[in-house]
Copies of this chain bind each other. A is one copy, B any other.
Amino acid sequence: MKLFRKLISLDEALKAVLAYAKPAETEIEEIGFDDALNRVLAEDVCSTADSPPFDRAAMDGYAIRAEDSFGASPNNPVLLKLIKSQREKGKESRVEGVEIGEGECFSIQTGMALPKGSNAVVMLEYTKERGSELEIFKPVTPGKNVSFKGEDVKKGEVVLKEGKLLRAHDVGMLASLFKRSVKVYKRAKFGIMSTGDELLNPEEAEPYEGEKRIADVNSYVLAGLTEPIASSYKIGIVRDNYDKIKTAISGSLAVDSDSNYYCDGLLISGGSSVGKRDFIAGVVEDSGELVFHGVAIRPGEPTGFGIVNGKPVFILPGYPVAAISAFELLVRPFLFAVHGVKEERKRIFAVARKKIPSAVGRTDFVRVKLLCKENKNEYFVEPIGVSGSGILSSMTKSDGFVVIEENKEGVGAGEKVEVVVWE
């Protein structure tokens, strides 16, 4: 039996995979803005107009010439003439065509364009209508309660940058610009393959009493992790047979891009044991290039990466927690790079409540629980007290994870750590 190959550090592994995530090769597609939620913008979007598009009221009240209100007070109100709009529609008056002269005013609601001649809005609460006249109890300065044209965004200004993950309000911004189609990065399609004679498809079979076989978990976990960023295609379980695995790999990476089976890359899991590990890595090596195999991360040591038909193939551990660790530490940065995501995931800084042990020379992926004492405005963090990368409950009980760098000998109680929270 072969022993471990030499492990490379997480940094070296990251550098190697990112070298293959060439953003220049990333494909771009143009889609309707209303389909762009959660997609990554592939162009800078500029404002096509000033925002606000015209000077407008920032408050409900009356548009006036500010000068006319000077000296007004509760005991000595200024009296202005109420102008009516020529165009009435439904219950609401329209501002088009209205012009305010000296000593005149016009009823206005927040957001309405300021009528010609006016330069300020006096708030409703400082006024009182008396027939065709208005009493004003407080003076305003010119520009008061007005949002000026272009005050927020000038025409031509970049409002959404390339690389932005589009959220609900960003799609709203596209709508507000009447930007009907938008360039986004195409979602790559990653095949998800589980290997192992011990695996059962949980949608189809159950182990009989005493049978030492387990459910294929990684197909679901890896698809779930991939989907927010790229498309996933479940290839299913491939048995531990050199030819079958080789055929499955080259099959999904060689077929025509019109085919349903076409994949831009593969995530192969399985082979948590030394024998199997070398087995899958061997197939990748024989089918193309094995870039590395074995990374100093825990869990996730038996992670590998190769290129077959010019496409990325990640070899991930069979144990779900190790597969998730390898996904978060290596596959996610790769997928982000391929899809042009420029944003970093936000972290929560939290104080370790107890020691989190870790060995120098490897990067640790530690599942943690976040705790918040009442009236305390900081989080505390506790590692989930189970070990073993087969232990899925260490994930389901956790709020997120902490990465302990390879040059650190654990985290002491009271030390601050960065927590990435499950989304």
**Residues of chain A at the chain B interface (Cβ within 8 Å):** 1, 3, 32-34, 37, 51-54, 56, 58, 60, 89-92, 95-96, 107, 109-113, 124-125, 129, 147, 151-153, 159-160, 164, 167-178, 180, 197-198, 200, 202-203, 206-207, 212, 214-225, 227, 239-241, 272-276, 279, 318-320, 324, 346-349, 370, 377-379, 386, 388, 390-396, 399-400, 416, 418, 421-423
Contact = CB atoms under 8 A, between A and B. Distances in A.
Given A110-B273, A159-B396, 10 more contacts: A1-B124, A51-B392, A54-B212, A89-B240, A111-B390, A147-B388, A151-B388, A168-B223, A175-B215, A349-B377
Given A212-B95, A392-B176, A33 B202 contact: yes
A392 B174 CA distance: 10
Contacts of A386: 151-152
Contacts of A92: 197, 240, 273, 275-276
The 3 A-B residue pairs whose C-beta atoms are closest, nearest first, are A109-B273, A168-B224, A169-B395
Nearest to A129: B1
A34 B220 contact: yes
A273 B175 contact: no
A214 B219 CA distance: 46
Contacts of A379: 349
Contact of A220 (B175, B216, B222): B175
A90 B241 CA distance: 7
B90 A240 contact: yes
A222 B172 CA distance: 9
A279 B91 contact: yes
Given A109-B272, A212-B113, A225-B168, A217 B393 contact: no
Contacts of A239: 90
13 contacts: A1-B107, A33-B202, A37-B227, A52-B390, A89-B240, A159-B393, A164-B396, A167-B224, A167-B423, A171-B224, A172-B320, A173-B393, A346-B348
Given A107-B1, A152-B391, A393-B153, A96 B212 contact: yes
| Residue in A159, A167, A239 with the greatest tally of chain B CB atoms within 10 Å | A167
Given A212-B53, A377-B416, A170 B109 contact: no
A419 to B, nearest CB: 9
Nearest to A394: B152
Contacts of A3: 124-125
Contacts of A169: 221, 224, 320, 324, 392, 395-396, 422
B224 A111 contact: no
Given A92-B240, A95-B212, A416-B377, A110 B54 contact: no
A227 B393 CA distance: 28
A37 B224 CA distance: 7
